[in-house]
């Protein structure tokens, strides 16, 4: 349901994560998208829509998830300014910290956040209070958070404190 909040004709940065691949599938109904991604799966999905202008970052390909990570990917992302940055995450700590397992992936995420007018986090409930060790930032960096279940109260408090729009799939 994240795709419902994206109008036609925007520029987007879409990060790796399987949830973002579902967002890409939903975006197939949109027209005139300009998408930059470090996710070969997202690129493959969006190639089905001929009105999408698709740009893929350079960098090191991680075979397990076909993610492109590393300094080349983050440097490439930093060349753009887009309407929407769509990110995923491996964990959201009770204090609102956004966490991941791979520091190279975090650098790409930080570049997406810094170069997006609006930042959307898409993450399912399994990420709540999970504790990977690499800190990306915190929920204050987000404009909207899309998830499938209501977050724990500690995370909700952070979302409310920082005026992040929360969309819960089963609540709609």
DSSP per position, 25-60: HHHTT--S-EEEESBHHHHHHHTT-TT-EEEE--SE
Of the pLDDT bands very low, low, confident and very high (cuts 50, 70, 90), residue 172 is very low
CA angle 116, 39, 158 (to 5 degrees): 45
Please tell me the least confidently modeled range out of 84-93, 103-112, 146-155, 162-171: 162-171
Residue 80: the pLDDT is 97
Q: What is the mean pLDDT of residues 4-16?
A: 88
Backbone angles phi, psi at 4, to 5 degrees: -65, -20
pLDDT > 50? residue 62: yes
pTM for the complete prediction?
0.93
**Residue 151 pLDDT exceeds 60:** yes
Q: What is the mean pLDDT of the chain?
A: 93
* The predicted structure's pLDDT at residue 11: 94
pLDDT of residue 9: 86
pLDDT value of residue 171: 56
Residues 95/137, Cβ–Cβ less than 8 Å: no
pLDDT at 129: 74
The pairing of strands 144-147 and 165-168 is parallel
């Amino acid at each position: 349901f994240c795709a419902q909040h994206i109008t036609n004709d925007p520029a987007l940065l879409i990060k790796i994560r399987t949830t973002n691949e579902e967002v890409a599938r939903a975006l197939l109904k949109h027209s005139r998208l300009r998408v930059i991604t470090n996710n070969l799966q997202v690129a493959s999905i969006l190639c089905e829509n001929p009105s999408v202008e698709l740009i893929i970052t350079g960098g090191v390909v991680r075979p397990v998830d076909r993610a492109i990570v590393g300094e080349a990917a983050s440097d490439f992302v930093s060349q753009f300014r887009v309407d929407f940055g769509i990110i995923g995450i491996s964990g959201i700590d009770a204090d609102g910290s956004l966490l991941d397992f791979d520091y190279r992936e975090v650098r790409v995420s930080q570049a997406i956040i810094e170069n997006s007018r609006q930042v959307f986090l898409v993450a399912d409930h399994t990420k709540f209070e999970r504790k990977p060790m690499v800190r990306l930032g915190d929920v204050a960096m987000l404009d909207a958070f899309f998830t499938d279940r209501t977050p724990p109260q500690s995370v909700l408090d952070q979302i409310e404190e920082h005026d992040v729009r929360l969309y819960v799939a089963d609540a709609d």
